[in-house]
């Protein structure tokens, strides 16, 4: 049986993309898998009794070494902010390429804590900063120093000791450009070194909390139980900075979504499911309920989605247990069709992610196809003609062409870069100034404009001639020729409409990172948790691949 | 040191601010990144050009012909570069084209380099005493290394070079003969047993 890939016109809608969940394809899980046989070491741990100072952690294999350098600083409570406007953080980190010399550590001590206003070099690969969850950190120190383990209810509510507020890579602030690392044999996909940084930061938070507790009460302090450590991740606060990324990297976006879609297609095409795969799938679905019930948020928007998800997952488990027969041919296709008919988008994508768990042999080869050589697709095929372009627009943007941009609500928002922090922002064009400096992120509006302009032109007019007098639409002409070959490269929605929910864009990207427990704090920023339940560095040589579904077990 | 990613992003934004469309600004970002990667002072010349653009008018060549004469104003290297890439398959048939009075010729260089890759031919870019050989966007050879590149070229010539060897047939034969010294002379027995296929292929 040949199952068609799912229709981009459905999958690339923001509400669907904003319902994506982590899976075996997610970068943090791939990272752990790819680096599990590397040697992990804590090379330096020079903190004072209050936990301030410098630490270095490394992963090494043969002659390759990656080192995380941590600078933990004292800040006042009123200086601690998750917002991008902050200028001080509890700790700042960089991943250094190789073993840092003393001079490197000193050079970076002056730069890394400054973050966006510091300067890094090509020897540094990623950069980040993080703030303590003071409530949790202080409680854990207090408990450990008194010889007891912390209150698990509190830990479960928050899920981490620290949360990062930005993770930078790919040449930002002088960091190494991607071309310097992309051909390394261990770099098998996007964001591997960002994931490494976050993972090592997580270990630093455990070491720091143990260190402070021990110094507070050397005689009676105990260490944080490794089982509790495993169930703690690293938090992350993410704002709009992430949203333009998925618009600005169309072929990369395509490759992420296409991998997911190909995995689903191949799983649906399995005629007879093996008992061990059925058991693992069922086990993951059931265990995953803990991830939903421990998913805390105050966001009405997310609470509704979680409530519906929980109801539908329970309904699905009931269906699996009491109605469904796995002996049927193509059982996962049957399951998928049932989900489409009976459950919400959040649940469909949730179960799609879990379907991948038993099928490493299907997922693994797709992981290495999730990067993109974007330069290859930059040039516009200008020898093509207007008729070709019109057909592409009609076939690939059919829903977008139906939007009426003369209506105020279709055209209400504009994306801009703030002068203060050089970060993307979204505002109402009819209420705020600055729309004349709009970023080219209103793809749907510009595609529609392009289509309307093409309608009055001769079909055989070459694109090179069209572009002479229509350079204002050049950016979308390029995109249209990209989508011709990359069907999942474009969000099939209006990113400037009245009803846009920008966190859907963030969530799409974060799901591919492997984030859990999306906690929207507004429609423009959210908190998440990464690596919760993941093995600790000294457990990597032999760990359970389905750790995501085994937290608090 | 600025990363290439920072260079591309800043150039794209600056180009938009200088009045180009976002699509053109993207092209300039890619091109200046390339220019700096190859070791040419793209940032310096672009900055100078954008400063001059505030005080001086430049002309645009929209449709590139074999001979492109100036009406007095210098030509904008960016519009020329973008149109060169867009129209390269037509321009290639001219085998050579010339441009009179081109401002900041260095800014055209990365566009030509990209053009060389698109059509799979080497290009020779020359003006005044300067010559640049563009090799499929893999490298650029020049007799102008480390010299101050002028901000105006009075007469520019762009030639499309045929894909030909740049060595003599005799040089090749001599080298090939030497390479043959790594081959084994086949005996009858080797002819019969050492190859994968049969001796006849009539079946």
Instruction: Give the residue among A144, A107, A148, A102 at the shortest CA–CA distance from A124.
Output: A107
Judged by CB atoms closer than 8 Å, whether chains meet at A472 and B21 is answered as yes
Judged by CB atoms closer than 8 Å, whether chains meet at B5 and A178 is answered as yes
Closest-CA residue of chain A to B61: A468
What is the nearest CA distance from B59 to chain A, expressed in angstroms?
14
The band of B199, judged by pLDDT with boundaries at 50, 70 and 90, is: low
User: CA A336 to CA A494: how far, in whole Å?
Assistant: 28
Among B3, B23, B63, the residue with its CB nearest the CB of A177 is B3
Please state the separation of Cα A236 from the chain's center in Å: 10
B118/A contact by beta carbon, under 8 A = yes
- Over residues A16-29, the mean pLDDT reads 97
Residue A22 lies in a domain: no
Residue B70 lies in a domain: yes
Judged by CB atoms closer than 8 Å, whether chains meet at B30 and A172 is answered as no
Residue A551 has pLDDT above 80, yes or no: no
Please give the model's pTM, rounded to 2 decimal places.
Answer: 0.94
**Contact criterion met (CB below 8 Å) for B60 and B76:** yes
User: CA A361 to CA A263: how far, in whole Å?
Assistant: 10
Beta strands A516-520 and A424-428 are unpaired
Taking only the tens place, the pLDDT of each residue in A77-123 is 888 877 666 788 999 999 999 999 999 999 999 999 999 999 999 99
Name every chain A residue with its beta carbon within 8 A of the beta carbon of B86: 380, 382, 463-464, 467-468
Q: Please tell me what DSSP assigns to residue A90.
A: S
Domain count, chain A: 1
Instruction: Give the residue among A442, A67, A108 at the shortest CA–CA distance from A247.
Output: A442
Judged by CB atoms closer than 8 Å, whether chains meet at B4 and A171 is answered as yes
- Please report, in angstroms and rounded to a whole number, the separation of the first and last CA atoms in chain B: 67
**Contact criterion met (CB below 8 Å) for A472 and A466:** no
B60/A contact by beta carbon, under 8 A = no
User: CA A292 to CA A307: how far, in whole Å?
Assistant: 9
- Would you state the pLDDT for residue B202? 59
Residue B188 lies in a domain: no
Instruction: Give the residue among A205, A160, A31, A201 at the shortest CA–CA distance from A551.
Output: A160
Residue A144 lies in a domain: yes
Q: Could you tell me the residue range of the domain that residue A154 belongs to?
A: 35-239
- Would you state the pLDDT for residue A84? 66
Instruction: Give the residue among A444, A546, A375 at the shortest CA–CA distance from A23.
Output: A546
- Please report, in angstroms and rounded to a whole number, the separation of the first and last CA atoms in chain A: 39
Closest-CA residue of chain B to A474: B23
Judged by CB atoms closer than 8 Å, whether chains meet at B1 and A121 is answered as yes
Residue A81 lies in a domain: yes
Residue B202 lies in a domain: no
Percent of chain B at pLDDT > 70 equals: 96
Residue A175 lies in a domain: yes
Residue A274 has pLDDT above 60, yes or no: yes
Name every chain B residue with its beta carbon within 8 A of the beta carbon of A473: 21, 23
Name every chain A residue with its beta carbon within 8 A of the beta carbon of B24: 471, 474
User: CA A109 to CA A117: how far, in whole Å?
Assistant: 13
Residue B198 has pLDDT above 60, yes or no: no
- Would you state the pLDDT for residue A553? 43
Residue A398 lies in a domain: no
Taking only the tens place, the pLDDT of each residue in B50-105 is 999 999 999 999 999 999 999 999 999 999 999 999 999 999 999 999 999 999 99
Task: Report residue B57: phi and psi, to 5°.
Answer: -95, 145
Distances (CA, A) of A134 to A48, A71, A152: 18, 18, 16
Answer with the residue of higher pLDDT: B116 or A526: B116
Instruction: Give the residue among A371, A352, A484 at the shortest CA–CA distance from A6.
Output: A352
Among B3, B24, B118, the residue with its CB nearest the CB of A379 is B118
Q: Which two tokens stand for residue A201?
A: 């930061």
- Residues of chain A contacting B, Cβ within 8 Å: 121-122, 170-179, 375, 378-380, 382-383, 417, 440, 463-464, 467-468, 471-478
Q: Which two tokens stand for residue B76?
A: 């904008």
- Would you state the pLDDT for residue A87? 82
Q: b/e string for A420-434 if b means 16 or more Cβ within 10 A?
A: eeebbbbbebeeeee
Name every chain A residue with its beta carbon within 8 A of the beta carbon of B2: 174
**Contact criterion met (CB below 8 Å) for A57 and A67:** yes
- A544-553, B55-64, B107-116: least confident range: A544-553
Q: Which two tokens stand for residue A2?
A: 């040949």
* H/E run at residue A109: helix A102-109
User: CA B107 to CA A282: how far, in whole Å?
Assistant: 61
Residue A275 has pLDDT above 90, yes or no: yes
Residue B185 has pLDDT above 50, yes or no: yes
Residue A153 lies in a domain: yes
Q: Which two tokens stand for residue A512?
A: 């591919």
Percent of chain A at pLDDT > 90 equals: 89
User: CA B33 to CA A274: how far, in whole Å?
Assistant: 52
Q: b/e string for A117-155 if b means 16 or more Cβ within 10 A?
A: ebebbebbbbbbbbbbbeebbebbbebbbeeeebeeeeb
Residue B18 lies in a domain: yes
Domain count, chain B: 1
B83/A contact by beta carbon, under 8 A = yes
Q: Could you tell me the residue range of the domain that residue B88 belongs to?
A: 4-160
Instruction: Give the residue among A198, A100, A123 at the shortest CA–CA distance from A531.
Output: A198
What is the nearest CA distance from A358 to chain B, expressed in angstroms?
39
Helix axes A300-322, A345-355, angle to 10 degrees: 60
User: CA A422 to CA A404: how far, in whole Å?
Assistant: 31
């Amino acid at each position: 049986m040949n199952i068609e890939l799912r229709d981009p016109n459905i999958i690339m809608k923001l509400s669907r993309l904003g319902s994506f969940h982590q899976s075996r394809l997610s970068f943090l899980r791939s990272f752990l898998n790819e680096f599990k046989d590397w040697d992990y070491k804590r090379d330096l741990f020079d903190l004072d009794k209050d936990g301030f100072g410098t630490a270095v952690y490394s992963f090494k294999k043969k002659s390759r070494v990656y080192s995380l350098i941590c600078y933990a600083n004292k800040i006042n409570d009123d200086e601690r902010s998750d917002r991008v406007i902050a200028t001080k953080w509890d700790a700042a980190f960089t991943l250094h390429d190789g073993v840092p010399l003393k001079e490197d550590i000193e050079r970076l001590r002056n730069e890394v804590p400054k973050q966006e206003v510091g300067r890094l070099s090509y020897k540094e690969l990623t950069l980040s900063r993080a703030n303590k969850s003071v409530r949790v950190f202080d409680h854990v120190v207090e408990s450990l120093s008194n010889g007891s383990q912390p209150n698990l209810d509190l830990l479960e509510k928050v899920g981490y000791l620290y949360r990062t507020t930005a993770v930078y890579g790919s040449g930002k602030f002088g960091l190494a450009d991607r071309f310097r690392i992309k051909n390394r044999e261990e770099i098998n996909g996007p964001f591997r070194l960002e994931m490494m940084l976050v993972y090592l930061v997580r270990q630093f938070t455990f070491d720091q909390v143990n260190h402070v507790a021990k110094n507070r009460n050397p005689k009676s302090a105990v260490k944080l139980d490794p089982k509790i450590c495993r169930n703690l991740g690293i938090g992350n606060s993410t704002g709009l900075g992430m949203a333009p990324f998925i618009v600005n990297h169309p072929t990369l976006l395509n490759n992420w979504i296409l991998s997911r879609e190909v995995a689903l297609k191949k799983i649906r095409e399995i005629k007879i499911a093996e008992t061990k795969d059925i058991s693992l799938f069922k086990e993951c679905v059931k265990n995953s309920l803990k991830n939903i019930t421990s998913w805390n948020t105050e966001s009405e928007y997310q609470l509704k989605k979680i409530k519906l998800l929980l109801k539908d997952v329970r309904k699905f488990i009931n269906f699996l247990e009491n109605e469904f027969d796995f002996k049927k041919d193509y059982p996962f296709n049957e399951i998928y069709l049932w989900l489409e008919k009976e459950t919400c988008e959040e649940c469909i994508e949730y179960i799609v992610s879990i379907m991948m768990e038993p099928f490493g042999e299907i997922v693994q080869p797709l992981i290495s196809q999730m990067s993109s050589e974007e330069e290859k697709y930059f040039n516009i095929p200008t020898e093509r003609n207007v008729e070709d372009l019109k057909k592409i627009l009609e076939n690939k943007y059919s829903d977008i062409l139906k939007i009426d941009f003369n209506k105020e609500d279709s055209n209400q928002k504009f994306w801009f870069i703030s002068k203060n922090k050089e970060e993307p922002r979204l505002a109402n064009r009819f209420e705020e100034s600055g729309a004349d400096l709009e970023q080219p992120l209103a793809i749907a509006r510009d595609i529609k404009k392009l289509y309307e302009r093409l309608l009055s032109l001769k079909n055989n007019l070459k694109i090179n001639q069209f572009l002479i007098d229509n350079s204002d639409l050049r950016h979308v002409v390029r995109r249209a020729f990209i989508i011709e070959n990359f069907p999942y490269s474009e969000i099939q929605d209006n990113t400037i409409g009245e009803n846009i929910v920008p966190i859907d864009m963030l969530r799409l990207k974060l799901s591919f990172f492997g984030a859990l427990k999306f906690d929207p704090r507004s429609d423009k920023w959210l908190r998440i948790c990464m690596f919760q339940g993941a093995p600790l560095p000294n457990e990597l040589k032999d760990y359970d691949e389905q750790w995501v579904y085994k937290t608090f077990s | 040191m600025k990363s290439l990613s920072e260079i591309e992003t800043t150039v794209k934004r600056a180009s938009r601010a200088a009045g180009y469309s976002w699509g053109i600004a993207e092209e300039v970002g890619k091109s200046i990144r390339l220019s700096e990667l190859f070791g040419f002072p793209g940032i310096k010349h672009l900055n100078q050009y954008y400063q001059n653009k505030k005080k001086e008018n430049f002309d645009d060549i929209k449709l590139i012909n074999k001979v492109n004469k100036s009406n007095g104003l210098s030509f904008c290297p960016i519009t020329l570069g973008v149109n060169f890439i867009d129209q390269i398959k037509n321009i290639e048939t001219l085998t050579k084209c010339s441009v009179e009075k081109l401002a900041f010729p260095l800014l055209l260089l990365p566009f030509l380099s990209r053009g060389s890759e698109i059509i799979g031919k080497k290009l020779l870019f020359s003006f005044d005493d300067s010559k640049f050989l563009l090799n499929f966007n893999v490298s650029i050879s020049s007799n102008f290394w480390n010299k101050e590149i002028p901000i105006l070229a009075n007469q520019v010539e762009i030639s499309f070079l045929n894909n030909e060897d740049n060595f003599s047939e005799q040089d090749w034969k001599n080298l090939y003969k030497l390479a043959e010294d790594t081959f084994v002379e086949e005996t009858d027995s080797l002819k019969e047993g050492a190859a994968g296929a049969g001796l006849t292929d009539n079946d």
